[in-house]
Structure 1
Amino acid sequence: MEGFRGKKVGTLRLYTGDIVFRSALSQAGIDWKKDIELIEFKNNSMLLEAIKSGKVDVGVGSPGTLYEAEEGGLVAVTWSNDLQPDHVCCRIVAKTGDVKEKREAFKRFLKAIIKAERDKEKDPKVTIDASRPHIRLDDKIMEKSIIEPHMLNHSDPNKKEIVKMWENMNDIGYIKEGKDIDITKYIDTSLYKEAVEELIASEPDEPFFQKVKERFNQQNIG
């Protein structure tokens, strides 16, 4: 991380990579408010142009721009999960009232997501074929986003890492309001747990579901 000290760094505020990068700087003893020049951009296109033109030395972008970045002659020098392994990114969220009212529907949704993850693991191209009608992107761009090994897309709640990221955001001054909120009150792992258990009961010989259960225990219990 010392290599970033004194550099101009472009970033996209409120992106996962942005939070992880600032946290990693802080943990390395580098004050992102003083020891680097942090410049926030509104979108990935503006960020990539700033890197290519030399207006910033390095940029913290989203995985969806990897193909475009590489086509423009840029390279990835590190990944967010190199800096903070197993960190969370997008989470599945819903209103508490809706979850209580439509619990079974949400559970079925989670089952479908887990089965989709199984299909992707067996054959990643299945995911691209399924995404094509809904995502109007070139297949090469989708491959970079979907099949890239650093893209760890799991529906597991990962309560431990949610709490860790929330604490990191507080520690580095990223959150200005709501610092005293107990984030654990807003994490419900029971639906996912039930979904996994019911999938195992329906297909006891499916090794993927057993792996999902082990991951759930590691990331949410204790």
Structure 2
Amino acid sequence: MYKLLVVEDDPFISRSIAATFREKDFSILGVAKSVVEATALIEKQKPDICLLDIQLKGDEDGTALGKRLDVLQIPYLYLTAQTDPTTLAAVSETHPLGYIVKPFTKASLWSSFSVVWNLYLAKKSEVFTVRVDGYLHKIPEADILYLEAYDNYCYLITSEKKLLLPKTLKAVRETLRAPFFYSPHRSYYINVNCITNLGTRTVEVAGVSLPLSEARRPDLLRIVR
């Protein structure tokens, strides 16, 4: 059973969301009315997926929480009726799975969510398998932050481990099947879903600054957008 966190300050909407997802066998981790409440719930028990209203009570809005979830690699969708330039600019700095536009019915809510969620699960099901020091590691490709070349080997980095693989970066790249990887530099291969900042000559992946080739920056910028 997947755990859902609802971040919505309208009690009518939050109750409707909770009822809809309970009918679909989701566990409602909690309902938060602000970023502060949501952060406390996330720290206690990591949700599998979050639904975030962009306009929230308090000093921070949903996009501020979206940035934190990007770092934690917790997937989320925005709930919004806002399409003004300021909101869209803030949203463009985050990486949601998608958007659910208000107002919505229970049927349209589930229809919009299920398409994106099933696509996410399909991508996450891609598993990279490698043997290192006698141990077999099975790592979901979506959990890979980046790969780093090291002579005839390469490092594989996730949020929980760093493995030195007995393969070249090129060999590992040819093995990965997920479509969300990109090479910002000849010595790196990154998960674009984990980008937290894109500079002029560097790209930040889950808080780690990596080199970015000047020639490859335009392509990466288009992908992120």
TM-score, normalised by the number of residues in structure 2: 0.29
TM-score, normalised by the number of residues in structure 1: 0.29
Structure 1 or 2: larger helix share? 1
Structure 1 or 2: larger strand share? 2
